[in-house]
């Protein structure tokens, strides 16, 4: 199954594509679409839509996944983010893809084990799990890949946190989530 993850934004939109076969996740493509904030919002929204359509045509994903809206203190930013999400969702629907959404907390928890993780922690885990060696200058690509990974974990029921606290819970988590295990001995 190929999953196209989108981290929508009117300044930068992250795009990440992965392929999942069982518990194995393979990196296919990632990039950031940097938009000119001096352009009209309508032009930037069209550019996001066109980029999503082009990625769908080129990589032929089975699913499109976006993060749910995040409400911030600035209502104008929240509204613009909603519009960017909307054009990405419409691009998926117009291409006959199933579209799913996950909250930022769900995405962070599925990738790092902590729903309150920082962007640095999410980026570290995404790079480690997918074997990305290059330095990434922004978080938009890794956020897009993280939302796609969240969808894989959710669909395959790999995202299982045991109840309870302490070491035994983490042992169970590691056993239940083999795709997240990092072989530290090979480093």
10 Å Cβ neighbour count for 157? 8
Whether residue 67 lies in the annotated active site: yes
Q: Is 183 a catalytic residue?
A: no
What confidence tens digit (pLDDT) does each residue in 142-153 have?
A: 999 999 999 998
Q: Smallest Cα–Cα separation from 60: which of 32, 28, 14, 13?
A: 28
Q: Which of 7, 19, 106, 143 is catalytic?
A: 7
pLDDT of residue 173: 57
Give the pLDDT confidence of 73-103 residue by residue, as tens digits.
788 888 999 999 999 999 999 999 999 999 9
Q: Which of 19, 67, 106, 143 is catalytic?
A: 67
- CB neighbour list of residue 179: distance below 8 Å, 6 or more residues apart: 23, 24, 25, 129, 152, 153, 158
Amino acid 135: pLDDT: 85
pLDDT at 183 over 60: no
| Cβ–Cβ < 8 Å for 108, 117 | yes
User: Which region holds residue 99: left if phi is over 0, alpha if psi is between -120 and 50, else beta?
Assistant: beta
Q: Report d(CA 3, CA 20) in Å as an integer.
A: 8
pLDDT tens-digit map of 102-139 = 999 999 999 999 999 999 999 999 999 999 998 877 89
Domains and CATH numbers, the chain: 2-158 (3.30.420.10)
Check 24, 31, 138, 140 and give the catalytic one.
140
- pTM for the whole thing? 0.82
Q: What is the rounded CA–CA span in Å between residue 141 and residue 147?
A: 10
134 counts as catalytic:
no
């Amino acid at each position: 199954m190929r999953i196209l993850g989108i981290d929508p934004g009117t300044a930068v939109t992250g795009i990440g594509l992965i392929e999942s076969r069982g518990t194995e996740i393979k990196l296919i493509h990632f990039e950031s679409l940097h938009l000119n904030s001096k352009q009209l919002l309508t032009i930037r929204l069209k550019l996001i839509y066109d980029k999503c359509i082009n990625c769908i045509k080129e990589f032929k994903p089975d699913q499109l996944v976006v993060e749910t809206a995040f409400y911030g203190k600035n209502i104008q930013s929240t509204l613009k983010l909603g519009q960017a999400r909307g054009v990405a969702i419409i691009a998926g629907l117009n291409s006959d893809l199933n579209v799913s959404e996950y909250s930022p907390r769900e995405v962070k928890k599925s990738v790092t084990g902590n729903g309150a993780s920082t962007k640095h922690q999410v980026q570290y885990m995404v790079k480690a799990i997918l074997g990305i060696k290059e330095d990434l200058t922004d978080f938009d690509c890794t956020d897009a890949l993280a939302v796609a990974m969240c969808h894989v974990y959710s669909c395959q029921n790999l995202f299982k946190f045991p109840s309870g606290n302490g070491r035994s819970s983490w042992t169970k988590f590691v056993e239940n989530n083999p795709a997240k295990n990092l072989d530290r001995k090979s480093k």
